[in-house]
Structure 1
C-alpha cells in the first residue's frame, strides 16, 4: 500500500505538524491516535495492516494526523484554561489543515472519522462540532468527558469541546444524516460514558448504533477486529 509522510509548518500551532496518509484513492478516513499517541501509532500497532484490504481496493484513504494531547488535555504543567485553549488550536488544525487536504485530494465533501480510546473522543468531538463535514463517525472505546483532566476548571472552551455537555443542545440538522457507531467492550472502562452519550443521541432521535462487544476489553485486539467491519458499512 502507498504510504505518504507529510510535515508542514502549521500556522495555527506555529510549529511543525506531521501526518501519515495511506492509499492513493478512496473515501477519506481521518483516524485519530490514542492518548498522547503520534501519527505513526496506528501503523506501529497494526491497525493499518488490519485495514489494508480497504486501502488496497482503493475504498478508503486513511489520514493519520498527529495529536497534541501532551500540550493540551494531558499537560498538567500548565493551567487548565491553557490546556483547553491549546485544544482549540488543534481543532483549527484539523478543520483547516487536515480536513481541507483530505477533501481537496479525494473530492469527497463529507469525510469519515474514527479513533480508539481518547482518539474516539477526538473523532466524536470533531464529528459533532462539524457534522456538515463528517458523514461517518466510528468511535471505538471512546471517552467523551474531558472535565476530569481540568481540576474543576470550566469555561466556554471546555463546554464546546465536551460532547456530553454540548450535545443535548446541538441542533445541527446534519447530525441526523450522519452514520454513527459507538463501539465499546462490555468490560470497558469507558462503557458508562458510551451509554450516556447513546442516551443523549436517542433522546434527540439521532440514529446510531451502540455496539457493546461481549467478553472484550479496552485494548487493541478488539479495535483491530471491529474497525474493518465498520468500514465495510460505508456506502
Structure 2
C-alpha cells in the first residue's frame, strides 16, 4: 500500500492539520477516527490492513483524517456553544479543504465517508449535511445523537449537526441517491442509535443496510470485518 503523509495550515482551524493517505487511485474515501483519535489510528489498529486488497487494486484511495474532538465535543473547559462552533469549523475544513483536494487527486465528483464509533458520527453527520458530495456512507458502531456531549445546551447549530434531529425534515433529493450502511452488533452500546437512525431512514423511504453482527462487541476486531465487507458492496 502506498502511504503518504500530508500536513498543511488550515485557515478554518487557524492551525496545522495532518492526515495519512493510502493508495494511489480510485474512489476517495474519508475515514474518520474514533473519539479524540488521531489520523494514524486506523493504521495502528490494522483497519487499513483489512482493506489492503481494495487499495492495491486501485479501487479506493483512503484519506485518514485527524480529529479535533478534544477542542470540540470533548472540551469541557469551554461552553457547549463554543464546542459546537469548533466542530462547525472542522466540518468546513473537510468540506472546503479536504474534499476538493481528494476530488482533484482522484478525478471523482463525490467522496465516500466512513468511520468507527465516534468516527461513525462524523461520517454520517458530514454525509447527511452535504449529500450532494457523498455517494456512500459506511458507519461502524456509530452514534447519531450528539446531545449527550453538550450538558443540556441546544440551539440551531446543535440541531443541524444532530442527524436524528435534522434528517427527518431534510428533503434534499440527493439523500435518496446515497448508498448507506449502518453497521452495529448485538453487544454494541450504540446498537439502539443505529436502530433509531434506521427507522428514520425507513420512514423517509431511503434505502439502506442495517447490518447487526452477532456475538461481537464495540471494538476493532468486528470493524476489521465490517470495513472490507462494505467496500466489497460498492
The TM-score bracket by the shorter chain reads: over 0.9
Q: Distance in 2 between matches of 1:113 and 1:174?
A: 15
- Deviations 1:45-83 (Å, cap 9, x if unpaired)? 110111111101111100011000000001111111100
Q: Distance in 2 between matches of 1:59 and 1:149?
A: 36
**Counterpart in 2 of 1:63?**
63
**Counterpart in 2 of 1:3?**
3
Q: Distance in 2 between matches of 1:59 and 1:168?
A: 33
Q: Distance in 1 between matches of 2:79 and 2:129?
A: 24
Structure 2 gaps, min length 5: none
Partner SS, residue 98 of structure 2: helix
Partner SS, residue 70 of structure 1: helix
Partner SS, residue 131 of structure 1: coil
Query: Pairwise CA RMSD of aligned residues?
Result: 0.6
Q: Distance in 2 between matches of 1:195 and 1:226?
A: 17
- Deviations 1:119-175 (Å, cap 9, x if unpaired)? 000000000001110000000000001101111100111111000100000111001
- Deviations 1:167-211 (Å, cap 9, x if unpaired)? 000111001011000000111000001000000000000000110
**Counterpart in 2 of 1:178?**
178
Q: Distance in 1 between matches of 2:170 and 2:106?
A: 29
1:95 deviates by 0.2
Partner SS, residue 83 of structure 2: helix
Length-normalised TM-score, structure 1: 0.99
- Deviations 1:63-109 (Å, cap 9, x if unpaired)? 01100000000111111110000000000000011111111111111
Alignment pair present for 1:109 and 2:109: yes
Alignment pair present for 1:19 and 2:37: no
Show the 5 A alignment for 1:27-176.
27-176=27-176
1:233 deviates by 1.1
Q: Distance in 1 between matches of 2:212 and 2:102?
A: 31
Q: Distance in 2 between matches of 1:118 and 1:98?
A: 19
1:110 deviates by 1.1
Q: Distance in 1 between matches of 2:151 and 2:113?
A: 29
Structure 1 gaps, min length 5: none
**Counterpart in 2 of 1:201?**
201
Q: Distance in 1 between matches of 2:31 and 2:168?
A: 25
Q: Distance in 2 between matches of 1:188 and 1:116?
A: 12
Q: Distance in 2 between matches of 1:216 and 1:167?
A: 29
Q: How many residues get paired?
A: 234
Q: Distance in 1 between matches of 2:38 and 2:100?
A: 20
Partner SS, residue 39 of structure 2: coil
Stretches (4+) displaced over 3 A: none
